[in-house]
């Protein structure tokens, strides 16, 4: 690929025995990787190591040997004795450690008011522990603390290891500290120098729903066989939460190739391609409910769109028990269209909160198409919402039968405006968490279709939402 | 530390450009790390690299140079052209690639019935793509597919690189395939040979709530200064979701040191230490509600415990909008005590689903101690539950005021049996997601205390749940 060899490459080093041993999961590596790509810098690797100094130093040396020009570390800047990153990075860059007195003063000014929250703590021990955080490699650029830990940008000392040695950006572990400090780091001269020569890339994401990953492989094969030139496109496909994502990176000169590839995929996969602009199903549903429509997206079959669908939503969830509501309200501003709903785990809750008749549950069972429809319609009525969603299913591992196996989930979306509804009862693969998570994704896709004007009467045999 | 040098060390290699570039987050690295530790094997590093063969090979070679005796890979076994792990591992281990015909037949038998689900797909292209998955390194041990991809255990070929070369376990990327195949891998002779000599460790986790991480550092310092011997203990502390976790690993001979350390921590931090046996707050709440009590845990102040607290629970959530309900039902069997509740995002929902008087909301505002209490009591009444929880707050980023800033969350837990209640209105740090997540954790801790017999009248000034 033209220009690839000039792209600066980076290593991301996540430190922490608690991360390495699986006690907590890392969110920083992927986040920094995305930020680097936006700057035209490829992450060569993300490596997670423990807290011992030899682990850190070993990883830094492996990254230097792999030829990266920038290393970003996260973690190991806390007040406890196992927080050693600054010290090890200083050694790696050939710089002595010095106490930065003004910085120590600024950290103390941050810590002192916090101590009032912990009346039983020993203030001297806390200040001593926090003072350690002001010992930094000589000549490093300090990134002011967002919590109590300062970050650092450390270039190799003159004459140390040679001109090719990487610059190291040292950031704290908590994402809410790391993320704002990243912006500060990027603005420093030392950082700019380390990524000089980054190539400009474009990056596009296309999302499809309702087909297997192998078929995308076949489509890309057919595109190449049909004479389309894909060489200048770096294409990655992946299956996520039941959706397929095609991420493509390319230099601006390859725009025509990208457009041709996208047209080919759109031609072959029609309405299964629900997002051509990188928008997520969550974003599309929110845009439809607020009346903003689906900007730049693909509206799919069923016509209708935009402002006409705007309205309010209520949900009644049994097996997903709040996951759909929680996902809908991840987004700030959800209160503009989301009213609430019922977590209807018990049969009584289905009746009391969504008005499902007891007799219906007794005759067809709580996990049934009929109850899903009654939940959707009932909760919309109860909260006077324009749209309602009902979910009832068997998340397992227990509770399944031959007739209604684990993974069977009945999902219904309903429009109180005109009585349209779409109902499906797919059998979800995977364990309890997968089944619950996938059910929420299917509900969002059904809602999108309803908001775009679809209804069950129009559904065809080869329905991508059927399976 | 005695014995540490004999512990076999492993590298975990997660492949996939979609993981490296932050499109999807890795769940396999931490999971495999925990499984390895259970077997007495330390993960030396978890490394994430892209899909290009040179990335994979580079990472395998770095791990060999770091001296690991086992490498576990995940990903890159799919049907698309960017799935190359088997091929690269074959080269790394000095083994030729061969088509395993019987395996190809077994994969075809798996794929064929799946094709009915995708009536629009090209069956020949799918079979060709899946056939590639049966090309494996000669002499490798095959792990039967859970999805369509077989896993592998590949020992270095005789005479290849030398006796110290690592064995590679090759697993697919989807966690629901990887996890069962791990069990199969562990049972193979090639795996046993690679981890021969693993040291037996014990691993204990202690959890505290309501104090800063720096104070734990001070406590451990004081323990050492007071003459306790901590050298044989490998102690890691971390802050997670507002709780502090102290994870300690040690050889069985160091049991007395561990017991002494735990006694010291318990002595200094009293009821803030809520779990001495590794149980989570989620597990404790579930055990209390089912009447199993808190086995081996710390019951804390407030007396009472065990079977007496068993009962049913209902929740009414505004700003957390289903997160608490979803977390409570993560656990199979939650239907034994969790009835459901209201996602009361709008004011109307608070009134309609939990019976909060409109006049109360009008006079004190939706985010108030009074409304949190009315939600807890109202939802318990509505569903005839023994216990109720109400949460209302400002998750931001908008909607805050000087009086009621972003992060202010009012949380109340209520016992319908005897009218006891505990209510707090902490101001949570962080962004929208942090605020929502922490609110759920606080609610669980308040519920635990209520179930152990506590109530607001008994709350003291230095209350760990106040802040």
ipTM entry = 0.80
pLDDT at A467: 38
Query: Which residues, numbered 370 to 389 in chain B, qualify as contacts with chain A under a Cβ-Cβ cut-off of 8 Å?
Result: 382-384
Is B348 touching A (CB cutoff 8 A)?
A: yes
Is A467 touching B (CB cutoff 8 A)?
A: yes
pLDDT exceeding 70 applies to what percent of chain B?
91
Buried b (16+ CB within 10 A) or exposed e, B7-41: bbbbbbbbbbbbbbbbbbebbbbbbbbebbbebeb
Question: Lowest mean pLDDT: which of A24-33, A391-400, B147-156, B160-169?
Answer: B160-169
pLDDT at B294: 60
Is B180 touching A (CB cutoff 8 A)?
A: no
Higher-pLDDT residue of B325, B428: B325
pLDDT at B450: 96
Find residue A184's DSSP bridge partners.
Answer: none
Chain A nearest-CA distance from B304, in A, is 25
Find residue B135's DSSP bridge partners.
Answer: B99
- Other Cβ atoms less than 10 A from the Cβ of B413: the count is 33
Q: Residues in chain A, how many?
A: 467
Banded model confidence at residue B198, pLDDT cuts 50, 70, 90: confident
- A vs B, Cβ pairs < 8 A, gives 338
- Decide if pLDDT at B76 tops 70: yes
- CB atoms A238 and B18 under 8 Å: yes
Residue of A nearest to B203 (CA): A21
Find residue B170's DSSP bridge partners.
Answer: B73, B152
pLDDT exceeding 90 applies to what percent of chain B?
66
Chain B nearest-CA distance from A89, in A, is 18
pLDDT at B214: 79
How far apart CA B406 and CA A451 sit, in angstroms, is: 32
Find residue A408's DSSP bridge partners.
Answer: A427
- CB atoms A317 and B322 under 8 Å: yes
For A70, the enclosing helix (H) or strand (E) is strand A70-74
- Decide if pLDDT at B300 tops 50: no
pLDDT at B22: 84
Contacts of A314 in chain B (CB under 8 A): 349
How far apart CA A385 and CA B264 sit, in angstroms, is: 56
Q: What is the DSSP letter of A430?
A: S
Question: Lowest mean pLDDT: which of A172-176, A451-455, B63-67, B291-295?
Answer: B291-295
Q: For residues A56 and A78, is the Cβ–Cβ distance under 8 A?
A: no
Contacts of B43 in chain A (CB under 8 A): 20-21
Q: For residues B432 and B396, is the Cβ–Cβ distance under 8 A?
A: yes
Contacts of B118 in chain A (CB under 8 A): 211-212, 215
**Which one of B82, B122, B348 has the shortest CB-CB distance to A383?**
B348
Contacts of A216 in chain B (CB under 8 A): 80
Contacts of B211 in chain A (CB under 8 A): 118, 120-121
- H-state helical runs in A66-187: 85-92, 101-115, 123-131, 175-186
Is A135 touching B (CB cutoff 8 A)?
A: no
Is B362 touching A (CB cutoff 8 A)?
A: no
Contacts of B315 in chain A (CB under 8 A): 343
Hey, what are B128's tokens?
Answer: 């060709």
pLDDT beneath 70, residues of chain A: 1-6, 81-82, 116-120, 161-163, 293-307, 457-467
- CB atoms B213 and A335 under 8 Å: no
**Which one of B21, B29, B65 has the shortest CB-CB distance to A37?**
B21
Interface test with A, best of B204, B345, B436 (most A CBs within 10 A): B345
Contacts of B396 in chain A (CB under 8 A): 332
Chain B nearest-CA distance from A108, in A, is 13
- Decide if pLDDT at B200 tops 70: yes
- CB atoms A341 and B349 under 8 Å: yes
Tokens 């792209």, located at residue: A7
Is B16 touching A (CB cutoff 8 A)?
A: yes
Q: What is the DSSP letter of A252?
A: G
- Other Cβ atoms less than 10 A from the Cβ of A460: the count is 8
**Which one of A51, A55, A213 has the shortest CB-CB distance to B80?**
A213
Is A270 touching B (CB cutoff 8 A)?
A: no
Contacts of A324 in chain B (CB under 8 A): 322
What CA–CA distances, in Å, run from A428 to A166, A404, B59, B145, B146?
47, 12, 35, 19, 15
Is B29 touching A (CB cutoff 8 A)?
A: yes
Contacts of B50 in chain A (CB under 8 A): 44
Banded model confidence at residue B237, pLDDT cuts 50, 70, 90: confident
Contacts of A117 in chain B (CB under 8 A): 212, 467
Q: For residues B322 and A329, is the Cβ–Cβ distance under 8 A?
A: yes
Query: Which residues, numbered 291 to 310 in chain A, qualify as contacts with chain B under a Cβ-Cβ cut-off of 8 Å?
Result: none
Is A431 touching B (CB cutoff 8 A)?
A: yes
- CB atoms B23 and A245 under 8 Å: yes
What CA–CA distances, in Å, run from A264 to A274, A463, B121, B348?
15, 21, 15, 48
Contacts of B25 in chain A (CB under 8 A): 25, 27, 30
- CB atoms B23 and A51 under 8 Å: no
Give this prediction's pTM.
Answer: 0.80
- Decide if pLDDT at B227 tops 50: yes
- Decide if pLDDT at B44 tops 60: yes
pLDDT at A285: 97
Contacts of A34 in chain B (CB under 8 A): 21-22
pLDDT in tens, B267-289: 999 889 999 998 999 999 999 99
- CB atoms A343 and B345 under 8 Å: no
- CB atoms B81 and A25 under 8 Å: no
Is B322 touching A (CB cutoff 8 A)?
A: yes
**Which one of B345, B433, B434 has the shortest CB-CB distance to A339?**
B345
- CB atoms A216 and B80 under 8 Å: yes
pLDDT in tens, B392-429: 999 999 999 999 999 999 999 999 999 999 999 999 88
pLDDT at B388: 98
Residue of A nearest to B237 (CA): A18
pLDDT at B15: 94
- H-state helical runs in B81-122: 85-92, 101-115
Residue of B nearest to A37 (CA): B21
pLDDT at A176: 86
Is A364 touching B (CB cutoff 8 A)?
A: no
> B343: Cβ–Cβ under 8 A, 6 or more apart, which residues?
A315, A322, A325, A340, A341, A342, A343, B317, B321, B322, B325, B349, B353
pLDDT at B25: 84
Is B278 touching A (CB cutoff 8 A)?
A: no
pLDDT in tens, A156-190: 988 776 657 899 999 999 898 999 999 999 999 99
- CB atoms A343 and B340 under 8 Å: yes
How far apart CA B414 and CA B423 sit, in angstroms, is: 9
Chain B nearest-CA distance from A421, in A, is 23
The distance from CA B396 to its chain's CA centroid, rounded to whole angstroms, is 26
What CA–CA distances, in Å, run from A303 to A271, A289, A453?
11, 16, 6
Residue of B nearest to A436 (CA): B330
pLDDT at B199: 78
**Which one of A31, A129, A338 has the shortest CB-CB distance to B214?**
A129
Interface test with A, best of B67, B214, B219 (most A CBs within 10 A): B214
pLDDT at B296: 45
pLDDT at A45: 97
Is B54 touching A (CB cutoff 8 A)?
A: no
């Amino acid at each position: 690929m033209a220009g690839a060899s000039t792209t600066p490459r980076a290593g991301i080093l996540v430190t922490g025995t608690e991360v390495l041993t699986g006690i907590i999961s890392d969110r920083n590596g992927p986040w920094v990787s995305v930020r680097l790509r936006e700057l035209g810098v490829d992450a060569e690797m993300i490596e997670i190591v423990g807290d011992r100094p030899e682990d850190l130093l070993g990883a830094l040396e492996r990254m230097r040997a792999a030829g990266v020009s920038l290393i970003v570390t996260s973690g190991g800047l806390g007040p406890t004795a196992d927080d050693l990153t600054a010290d090890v990075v200083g050694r790696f860059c050939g710089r002595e450690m010095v106490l930065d007195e003004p910085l120590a003063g600024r950290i103390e000014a941050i810590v002192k008011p916090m101590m009032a929250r912990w009346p039983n703590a020993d203030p001297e021990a806390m200040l001593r522990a926090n003072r350690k955080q002001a010992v930094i490699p000589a000549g490093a650029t300090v990134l002011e603390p967002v919590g109590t830990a300062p970050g650092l940008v450390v270039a190799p000392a003159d004459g140390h290891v040679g001109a090719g040695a990487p610059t190291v950006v040292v950031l704290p572990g908590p994402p809410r500290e790391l993320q704002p400090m990243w912006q500060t780091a990027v603005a420093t001269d030392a950082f700019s120098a380390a990524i000089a020569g980054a190539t400009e890339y474009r990056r596009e994401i296309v999302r499809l729903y309702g087909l297997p990953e192998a078929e995308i492989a076949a489509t890309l094969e057919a595109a190449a066989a049909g004479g389309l030139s894909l060489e200048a496109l770096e294409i990655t496909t992946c299956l996520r939460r039941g959706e397929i994502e095609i991420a493509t990176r390319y230099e601006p000169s390859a725009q025509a190739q990208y457009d041709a590839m996208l047209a080919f995929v759109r031609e072959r996969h029609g309405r299964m391609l629900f997002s051509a602009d990188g928008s997520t199903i969550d974003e599309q549903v929110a845009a439809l409910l607020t009346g903003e429509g689906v900007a730049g997206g693909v509206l799919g079959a069923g016509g209708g769109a935009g402002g006409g669908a705007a309205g309010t939503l209520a949900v009644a969830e049994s097996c997903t028990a709040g996951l759909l509501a929680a996902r809908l309200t991840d987004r700030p501003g959800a209160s503009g269209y989301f009213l609430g709903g019922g977590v209807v785990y018990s049969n009584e809750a289905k009746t009391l909160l969504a008005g499902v008749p007891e007799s219906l549950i007794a005759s067809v069972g709580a996990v049934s198409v009929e109850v899903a429809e009654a939940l959707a319609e009932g909760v919309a009525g109860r909260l006077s919402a324009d749209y309602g969603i009902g979910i009832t299913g068997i998340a397992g591992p227990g509770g399944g039968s031959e007739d209604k196996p684990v993974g069977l989930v009945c999902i219904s979306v309903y429009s109180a405006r005109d009585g349209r509804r779409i109902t499906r009862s797919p059998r979800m693969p995977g364990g309890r968490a997968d089944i619950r998570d996938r059910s929420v994704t299917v509900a969002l896709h059904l809602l999108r279709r309803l908001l775009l004007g679809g209804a069950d009467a129009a559904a065809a045999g080869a329905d991508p939402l059927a399976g």
